[in-house]
Chains A and B, each alone.
Chain A
C-alpha cells in the first residue's frame, strides 16, 4: 500500500473510532450504564437516562451517519480517491 492510500485509510479509521466512541457513549453509556444517575436530570417529564435510551440515542445515531458521510466525501476528494 503506498503512503497516500495508507494515510487515507488511517484518516478513515481515526474518524470511525471517534464516531463509534460517541455511538457507544450515548447508547450503552447514557442509556444503560449511567441511566440511573442521569435520571436525576429531567428533560420534560422524564429522566435523562430514560430519554437517551428511548429517544436521544436514536437521534444521535442519525447525526453520526450523516456526519460520517459528509466527512468521508471530503476525505475522498482530499486524497483524490473519489468516484468519477
Chain B
C-alpha cells in the first residue's frame, strides 16, 4: 500500500473513534457540559489534561526548537512542565474545593465584583483565542502536507470533527476523546524515537540514548552521542549543542519562569481540575498529568538531538573541507526533495559545485575557513524547525505505517488542545457572561443550549482566524502565555493565599500586569503586531536587561502581585464573609459536588 492510502486509513480510523466516543458521551446537564459531572477518575483526568496541554506546538515544533537551540531550548522543557508543580501546590486543590464551573467565576466571587469577573473573562478569551489560532493552523498544515488536500479543506474537516464531539459532549465528550487522543499521540511520538535511538546508539530507550554512546557502524562509534553531536556542529561553526544559551542566562531564567506561571494560569488547563470528584484527587491528578506529559517531554531532547545529528550527517558525510564529503544534490534522499516542495526546506547552490554545504556563515572564523574550501556561503538557506518531527521517520528510513501514525498523532495533539480551549471560551461566554451577568435566572436547559451555541460561535471564530491568520499569528503563543502569566495566575494565587487582597487590588493588579506585558511586546513587535509601528527595535540590545518579549510575562506577574498588594493596603479590607470564604477553601472538608450557583 502506498503512503497516502495508509495515512487515510489510519487518520480515518482515529476520527471514527473520536466520533464514536462523542455519541457515547453526550452531555445532558450543564454540569456534564462544563465539568463532565465532576466524576472523572484522577488518572483518566491526568491523561486528558496531558492531551489538552500538549498542542501542535509540543508535538511538532518543540523537538525542532530543541534540535536547533540545544541546551538553550531547556526553557521549553522546564517551563512547560514546572508549571504543574505550581498548579498542584498552589491552585488546583483550592479551586476544586471552591467547586464552581469556570475560572472567572472564582475571581468574581472571591473579589466580590462583577468587574473583576469581566476583566478575567476578557483575559481568558484573549489568551485562549490567540492560542487556538495556532492549533487551527497546525490542523490545516498537517492535512495539506500529508493528505494532499488544500489547507482550507483540511481546516474544515478538522473543525467538523471538533464540532461533533465538543458541541455534543461538552467537557464530558472532550475528556473521553482526549484520553483516546493521548494514546494516539504518545505512540506516534515514541515509536519513531525508539527506532532512531536504537539505530544511532543501540539503546531502544530514547532517554538513555540521549546520554549513551554511538552504536557500532555509526560515524564516531563508541563516542558519547552528545560529544559526537557537539563535534559535528562546532566543526561547521554552529554553537556547541550542549552549551549554547538562548539570549543570556538571565533571559533563560525569566523565560522559564514565564512559561511556568503561564502554564499554571491557562484557563483550559485549570478547568480540567474541576472535573475530578475530590480535593485530594485534584492534587494527585496534576501528578498523573505530569507523568503523561513527561513521557513526551523527556523523549523530546533525544528526538531533537538525534534528528540534528542525522540531518548534519546526511549533508556532511565526511571530514569538513574534503570536497567529496559534502553530499551531491543529485543524490539527496527522497524526503529532502519532498520537504523542498513545501518550501520549509530550501537549498541554493551558491558556489555552483552541485554539492550541499551546510554551515554557519555568520561565524567569522568558520566563514574564513569556508572561503579556503571554495564555499560561497551556507547553501541550506532554510531549514524550518517544524519539519524535524514530521520528517524524522523519513530521515531514519522508517516504514510507511510509522509515518501515517505520526500524522494521526499530530492531528490528535492539535484537535485535543483546540477542543479544550474552545470549551474554556464557550463556558466563559455562556456561564460567566450570559448566566452570570445578563440573565441570572436562565433555566438549566436554556443555559445548556446557550453553551452549545457559544461553542459553535467559538469554533466559527477559530476557523475564521485559521483561514485568515492575522499578521500576529507568529507571536500569538507568546501572548497567550504572557497574558495568563501576568493576569490570571497572580490573582488566583493571591485569592487563596492572601486574605487581605481586595476587589480594587485584584482589578488593578490584573490590568497593570497585562498592561505592562502588552506594552513591552508591542513596543518591540509593533502595536497589535502591525509591522512598522514598533517604537523600539526587536533585537537583544534593545531589550530590557536582554529579556525577550516572549519572556516578559514573568515581569508582568511580578507587577501584578506588587500592585494588587499595594492597592489592597490603602483601600478597605475585604468584607468578613469573603475572609470566611477564603478560610473555607483552604480546607478540603465539605467539598461535595459542585454547583453552578
- Report which A residues bind B (CB closer than 8 A): 1, 5, 8-9, 12, 16, 19-20, 23, 27-28, 31-33, 35-36, 39, 43-47, 50-51, 53-55, 57-59, 61-62, 64-66, 68-69, 72-73, 76, 80-83
Interface string of B217-260 (1 = CB under 8 A from A): 00000001111000000000000001100000100110011000
CB distance B591 to A66 under 8 Å?
no
B278 interface residue (CB < 8 Å to A): yes
CB distance B253 to A32 under 8 Å?
yes
Nearest neighbor of B229 in chain A, beta-carbon distance: A45
| Known contacts A45-B227, A72-B280, A83-B279; is-contact A58 B249 (Cβ 8 Å) | no
> A67 vs B242: C-alpha distance in the bound complex, in angstroms?
31
CB distance A27 to B82 under 8 Å?
yes
Q: A69: which of B66, B207, B287 is its contact (CB, 8 Å)?
A: B287
CB distance B583 to A19 under 8 Å?
no
CB distance A44 to B591 under 8 Å?
no
Residues of A within 8 A of B226 (CB): 45-46, 50
Which of B159-167, B188-196, B289-297 is near enough to bind chain A?
A: B289-297
Residues of A within 8 A of B417 (CB): none
A-B contacts, 18 of them at CB < 8 A, read A23-B85, A32-B74, A32-B256, A33-B249, A44-B210, A45-B227, A54-B74, A55-B298, A58-B294, A58-B298, A59-B294, A61-B85, A62-B294, A64-B89, A68-B283, A69-B284, A72-B283, A81-B588
Residues of A within 8 A of B157 (CB): none
Residues of A within 8 A of B249 (CB): 32-33
Give the distance to chain B from A19, nearest Cβ to Cβ, in Å.
6
CB distance A66 to B284 under 8 Å?
yes
Residues of B within 8 A of A5 (CB): 583, 586-587
CB distance A45 to B85 under 8 Å?
no
CB distance B82 to A73 under 8 Å?
no
CB distance A16 to B90 under 8 Å?
yes
**Quick one: which of B66-85 are within 8 Å of A by CB?**
66, 71, 74, 77-78, 81-82, 84-85
CB distance A64 to B298 under 8 Å?
no
Residues of B within 8 A of A81 (CB): 587-589
Residues of B within 8 A of A72 (CB): 93, 280, 283
| Known contacts A45-B211, A45-B225, A65-B290; is-contact A58 B591 (Cβ 8 Å) | no
> A43 vs B286: C-alpha distance in the bound complex, in angstroms?
29
B213 interface residue (CB < 8 Å to A): yes
CB distance A65 to B286 under 8 Å?
yes
For the complex of A and B, list the 6 residue pairs with the smallest distance between their C-beta atoms, beginning with the closest: A44-B211, A45-B224, A53-B74, A65-B287, A69-B283, A81-B587
Nearest neighbor of A62 in chain B, beta-carbon distance: B290
Give the distance to chain A from B66, nearest Cβ to Cβ, in Å.
8
Interface string of B491-505 (1 = CB under 8 A from A): 000000000000000
- Starting from the known contacts A9-B586, A35-B71, 13 additional A-B residue pairs (CB-CB under 8 Å) come to A27-B78, A27-B256, A44-B224, A46-B224, A46-B242, A51-B211, A54-B301, A55-B207, A62-B287, A65-B290, A82-B280, A82-B588, A83-B589
Give the distance to chain B from A42, nearest Cβ to Cβ, in Å.
8
> A57 vs B280: C-alpha distance in the bound complex, in angstroms?
24
CB distance B256 to A55 under 8 Å?
no
Residues of A within 8 A of B279 (CB): 83
CB distance B227 to A82 under 8 Å?
no
Residues of A within 8 A of B85 (CB): 19-20, 23, 61, 64-65
CB distance B84 to A83 under 8 Å?
no
> A81 vs B585: C-alpha distance in the bound complex, in angstroms?
11
B212 interface residue (CB < 8 Å to A): yes
Residues of B within 8 A of A31 (CB): 74, 78
Name the residue among B211, B257, B590 with the largest chain A CB count within 10 angstroms. Answer: B211
B183 interface residue (CB < 8 Å to A): no
